[in-house]
Amino acid sequence: MTYEEFADTRLAPLLRYAVMLTGDPHQAQDLVQETMVRVQLNWRRVARADSPERYVRRMLTNQYVDWRRGSWMRRVLLRGEPDEAVPAPTDHAQSAVDRDQIWSWLSRLPRRQRATLVLRYYEDLPDAEIADILGCAVGTVRSSISRALATLRAEYVEACS
């Protein structure tokens, strides 16, 4: 597979995945951009992987989890010019986000927990594959999911009472 072929089919799903991780289209674009630049520069290594797609997803997830430690967040924050590639979210979408409580609760979760939720309930991946992507044990994935769900449930209870 060439990089071009990979990008043709996989860029859109990766971008959607990044939106679910970050909850924000701008940050999702930056996350995917930074990851895919590295993918392109190191394509031979990526192509050698059993599943290039999973390899890239792992790169992207690690980049997201390492957010604060890495430098790309800082670059994003310091960048002066607005990215013209990003369409401004429409009012409709924005207000939908505001109304969407569960979406906003997600942003309070630790990043690894959020990533497990996205991989489980958006990408519908089995625990073993999630563990592979996050580089942890299957048990860790399960406990991470149940802890994240417990946090969300607590928010529910609080909001309803």
Enumerate binding residues for another protein (CB under 8 A). Answer: 7, 11-12, 15-16, 19-20, 23-25, 28-29, 32-34, 36-38, 40-42, 62, 66, 69-72, 78, 83-87, 89, 93, 96-97, 100, 102-103, 106, 117-118, 121-122, 149, 152-153, 156
Between 27 and 131, CB nearer to another protein = 27
- The residue count for the chain: 161
Q: For residue 108, what are the CA distances in angstroms to 23, 65, 70, 75, 103?
A: 11, 14, 20, 22, 10
We find the least distance from the C-beta atom of residue 105 to another protein, in angstroms, to be 9
CA-to-CA distance for 42 and 22, rounded, in angstroms? 25
We find the least distance from the C-beta atom of residue 113 to another protein, in angstroms, to be 12
Between 118 and 130, CB nearer to another protein = 118
We find the least distance from the C-beta atom of residue 33 to another protein, in angstroms, to be 6
Between 50 and 78, CB nearer to another protein = 78
CA-to-CA distance for 82 and 86, rounded, in angstroms? 9
We find the least distance from the C-beta atom of residue 136 to another protein, in angstroms, to be 17
Between 49 and 97, CB nearer to another protein = 97
- Position of tokens 């890495």? 70
We find the least distance from the C-beta atom of residue 140 to another protein, in angstroms, to be 19
Between 106 and 141, CB nearer to another protein = 106
CA 139, 142, 147, 150 dihedral sign is negative
For 18, the enclosing helix (H) or strand (E) is helix 3-22
Percent helix / strand / coil, the chain, rounded to 5: 75, 0, 25
